[in-house]
Homo-oligomer: A and B are copies of this chain.
């Protein structure tokens, strides 16, 4: 008699850290961070939850670290920038877009978790500033000021898009971000 392997086991791509992170991000984007559980993640991957531990020995902590790395550390897009000032602008715009696209992981970003991921982000900003000839001390301040603004303003947007911004009417958040970005870019690089 020919062996008949179990239906689910055949021709399935093997589990990998990449596929796990991808599936987790999909759950967070679609249902929120609170609904990301190991069991649900296992379901999404058509696997028992416990199989995940074989690839992420540190369990859920490692999973969340991976989400932070995936969202925060990937290089922001600055293609086609006209000079380094424009590169700063494009970098900020595309970094904000990614944060908004994965707003569910924002709470993980403001934790001590995975500090290396954000170090990589600031490093890429400092590289742009270095190209502009900004001295090292000023570049360190400029990078944190700009990144701080982008992250903080995005956080305000996430809260502001929720109902009941009593103080003012509905806000055009894209325009608001751009206006603030202009102020910060001018401050970081006057003249």
Contacting B at CB under 8 A, from A158-190, are 158-168, 171, 176, 179-180, 183-184, 186-188
- A145-169 to B contact mask, C-beta < 8 Å, 1/0: 1011111111110111111111110
Q: Are B156 and A148 in contact (CB under 8 A)?
A: yes
A144 within 8 A of B: yes
A162-B110 Cα distance, complex, nearest whole Å = 12
A112 within 8 A of B: yes
User: Which of B113, B151, B164 meets A156, CB within 8 Å?
Assistant: B151
User: Which of B119, B163, B186 meets A115, CB within 8 Å?
Assistant: B163
A113, chain B: closest CB distance, angstroms: 8
Q: Are B145 and A149 in contact (CB under 8 A)?
A: yes
A118 within 8 A of B: yes
A107 within 8 A of B: yes
Q: Are B107 and A164 in contact (CB under 8 A)?
A: no
Q: Are B123 and A167 in contact (CB under 8 A)?
A: yes
Q: Are B107 and A108 in contact (CB under 8 A)?
A: yes
A140 within 8 A of B: yes
- A87-115 to B contact mask, C-beta < 8 Å, 1/0: 00000000000000000001111111101
- Residue numbers in B under 8 Å from A152 (CB-CB): 147-155
Q: Are A147 and B141 in contact (CB under 8 A)?
A: no
Q: Are B141 and A183 in contact (CB under 8 A)?
A: yes
A123-B107 Cα distance, complex, nearest whole Å = 24
- Residue numbers in B under 8 Å from A155 (CB-CB): 109-110, 148, 151-152, 155
- Which residues on A are within 8 Å of B, measured CB to CB? 106-113, 115-116, 118-120, 122-123, 126, 140-142, 144-145, 147-156, 158-168, 171, 176, 179-180, 183-184, 186-188
